[in-house]
């Protein structure tokens, strides 16, 4: 899923590959060559999706409702009048999709399990849906038959609706942690003999802020009566951190010795440059924005520490404290995380504001923008204005994360939408996307070979055009075009480009 659900940039013009070079030079003053720089032979390339965005089958075979099933049917609509009841129908067309991935020579397919498909009501005392489990069994087996590694995300934003109805989901740490741990135990038990890489949560920042502070994502909690956007997003983040740690400890003690798998979490984040490179305030703001965005979760999860000091200082008692028992849990589990899962799309400028902040400000009064104090753009836009082509920022982020956490990095999402892709003929010739992914893979190469950063893999977002959350079916991130009327799959040129490029970069023969 894209890091922030973007609106389609209908005013931006279509960039081809050469146009992108010109646009990048114009906006940044730099050249933009793709050099096809080398990557390690063992470097894994993969595709990624999320259950709600691609599966469809929303009410099939005993599946329960998730918060997205509810949210996408609200009136008036908060999702452009669109829902994912059918979307790509991956639930029925999974075999075709795996065959298609195999044609691209991918090493990995990262997908998520729909919690409410296997435990329809979600709770630890609720019935299990064997038909839902059978679907994921079949998917995993089919992937392995095609020599594609299944990388499984347990939670990609689709809380069972009944859990939210019962106790507010993440707003009740004790209840949610117990239910999530039970769900994870079921997944490890049923699938862990074949799944060797697990992700607990996808992008907890987005769940905390976009679902519980500004209300643009399900469940849109802040729009309900009696909510407190000043404190509740931080409680949500706290619950996610502790639930992650609890599941990591359970996996390590109960399942890992026999199953020999690994586990971690996926954090998203932009890289931030100072709006004014000569302003110490903006330099500090850029660093602080990284800590509020990434350090918020990364420091407790990967370092076993408290939240970053800058967060404690700014937020005060809005930020929950860790008990002695919880601090010990974090210390025990921080080294069990086997990798840092990184979702990244773009870079922004950070400017320190001096006006009084909003009541529920979550940025430490930092403004984000695509243009700096000298009028220089961070890079040309994709089909989403917020998503700019800024490969150097990606390299800097890889270095920032590596230096802070010293864990191997897997880029679990990276990609962009192109303009006009509803038309299959336009979509297939996606030169902009090819240029974007080529540049970002070059940045990974430089980070590995010149900076000494350990990056183990890169997964493109997304395998299929799909339902982009609150943005509906507008932005298309897929390397495969979907006609949502006929469900016909048509590979875009970027799919074949990636097949060729990754083979060349890793020194593999055809």
Q: Which residues pair with 155 in a beta bridge?
A: 201
Tell me how many domains the chain contains. Answer: 1
pLDDT reported for residue 20: 58
Q: Is residue 493 part of a domain?
A: yes
Q: Is residue 323 part of a domain?
A: yes
DSSP codes of every residue in 25-55: HHHHS-----------TT-EEEEE--HHHH-
Q: Is residue 8 part of a domain?
A: no
Omega prior to 154 cis, within 30 of 0: no
For residues 350 and 286, the answer to whether their CB atoms sit within 8 Å is: yes
Alpha-carbon gap, residue 138 to 64, rounded angstroms = 20
For residues 200 and 184, the answer to whether their CB atoms sit within 8 Å is: yes
Which tokens hold the place of 395?
A: 């390299």
Q: Is residue 339 part of a domain?
A: yes
Alpha-carbon gap, residue 502 to 93, rounded angstroms = 27
pLDDT reported for residue 98: 98
Q: Is residue 332 part of a domain?
A: yes
Cβ-based neighbours of 58, under 8 Å, separated by 6 or more: 69, 83, 84, 85, 86
C-alpha 133: how far from its chain's center?
A: 24
* Residues designated catalytic: 203, 413
pLDDT reported for residue 110: 99
What's 160's DSSP letter? B
Q: Is residue 57 part of a domain?
A: yes
Q: Are strands 489-491 and 480-482 parallel, antiparallel or unpaired?
A: antiparallel
What CATH number is attached to the domain comprising 372?
A: 3.20.20.80
Nearest to 366 by CA among 433, 282, 297, 304: 282
**Burial class of residue 40 in the structure, from the number of CB atoms within 10 Å of its CB (0-12 exposed, 13-18 middle, 19+ buried):** middle
Helix (H), strand (E) at residue 350:
strand 347-352
Backbone dihedral region for residue 423 (phi beyond 0: left; psi -120 to 50: alpha; all else: beta):
beta
The pTM assigned to this predicted structure is 0.95
Range of the domain at 457: 17-505
Q: Is residue 218 part of a domain?
A: yes
Alpha-carbon gap, residue 2 to 182, rounded angstroms = 28
What pLDDT tens digit does each residue of the chain (510 aa) get? 544 433 323 223 344 545 655 665 665 545 678 999 999 999 999 999 999 999 999 999 999 999 999 999 999 999 999 999 999 999 999 999 999 999 999 999 999 999 999 999 999 999 999 999 999 999 999 999 999 999 999 999 999 999 999 999 999 999 999 999 999 999 999 999 999 999 999 999 999 999 999 989 999 987 777 789 999 999 999 999 999 999 999 999 999 999 999 999 999 999 999 999 999 999 999 999 999 999 999 999 999 999 999 999 999 999 999 999 999 999 999 999 999 999 999 999 999 999 999 999 999 999 999 999 999 999 999 999 999 999 999 999 999 999 999 999 999 999 999 999 999 999 999 999 999 999 999 999 999 999 999 999 999 999 999 999 999 999 999 999 999 999 999 999 999 999 999 999 999 765
Q: Is residue 337 part of a domain?
A: yes
Alpha-carbon gap, residue 445 to 440, rounded angstroms = 9
């Amino acid at each position: 899923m894209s890091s922030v659900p973007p609106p389609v940039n209908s005013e931006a013009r279509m960039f081809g590959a050469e146009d992108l070079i010109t646009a990048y030079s114009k906006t940044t003053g730099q050249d933009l060559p793709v050099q096809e720089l080398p990557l390690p032979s063992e470097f894994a390339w993969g595709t990624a999706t999320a259950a709600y965005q691609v599966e469809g089958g929303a009410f099939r075979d005993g599946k329960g409702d998730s918060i997205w099933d509810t949210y996408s049917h609200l009136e008036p609509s908060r999702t452009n009048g669109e829902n994912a009841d059918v979307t790509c129908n991956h639930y029925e067309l999974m075999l075709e999709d795996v065959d298609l991935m195999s044609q691209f020579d991918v090493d990995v397919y990262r997908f998520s399990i729909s919690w409410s498909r296997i435990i329809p009501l979600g709770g630890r005392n609720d019935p299990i849906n064997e038909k839902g489990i059978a679907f994921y069994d079949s998917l995993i087996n089919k992937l392995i038959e095609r020599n594609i590694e299944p990388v499984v995300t347990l939670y990609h934003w689709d809380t069972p609706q009944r859990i939210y109805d019962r106790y507010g989901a993440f707003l009740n740490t004790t209840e949610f942690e117990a239910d999530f741990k039970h769900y994870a135990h079921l997944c490890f038990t049923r699938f862990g003999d074949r799944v060797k890489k697990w992700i607990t949560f996808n992008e907890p920042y987005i769940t905390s802020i976009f679902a519980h502070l500004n209300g643009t994502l399900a469940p849109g909690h802040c729009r309900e009566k009696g909510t407190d956007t000043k404190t509740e997003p931080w409680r949500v983040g706290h619950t996610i951190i502790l639930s992650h740690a609890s599941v990591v400890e359970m996996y390590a003690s109960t399942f890992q010795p026999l199953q020999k798998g690994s586990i971690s979490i996926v954090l998203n984040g932009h890289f931030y440059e100072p709006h004014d490179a000569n302003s110490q305030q903006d330099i500090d703001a850029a660093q602080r924005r990284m800590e509020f965005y990434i350090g918020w979760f990364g420091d407790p999860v990967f370092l076993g520490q408290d939240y970053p000091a800058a967060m404690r200082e700014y937020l005060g008692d809005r930020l929950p404290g860790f008990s002695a028992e919880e601090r010990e849990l974090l210390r025990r589990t921080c080294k069990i995380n086997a990798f840092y899962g990184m979702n990244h799309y773009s870079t922004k400028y950070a400017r320190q504001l001096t006006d009084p902040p909003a009541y529920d400000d979550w940025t430490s009064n930092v403004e984000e923008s695509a243009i700096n104090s000298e009028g220089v753009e961070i890079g040309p836009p994709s089909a989403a204005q917020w998503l700019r082509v800024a490969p150097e920022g990606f390299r800097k982020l890889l270095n920032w994360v590596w230096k802070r956490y010293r864990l191997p990095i897997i880029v679990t999402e990276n990609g962009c939408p192109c303009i006009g892709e509803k038309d299959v003929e336009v979509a297939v010739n996606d030169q902009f996307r090819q240029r974007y992914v080529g540049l970002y893979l070059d940045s990974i190469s430089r980070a590995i070979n010149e900076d000494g950063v350990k990056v183990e893999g890169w997964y493109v977002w997304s395998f299929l055009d799909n339902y982009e959350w609150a943005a509906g079916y507008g932005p298309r991130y897929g390397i495969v075009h979907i006609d949502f009327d006929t469900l016909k799959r048509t590979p875009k040129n970027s799919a074949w480009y990636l097949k060729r490029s990754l083979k060349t970069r890793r020194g593999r023969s055809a």
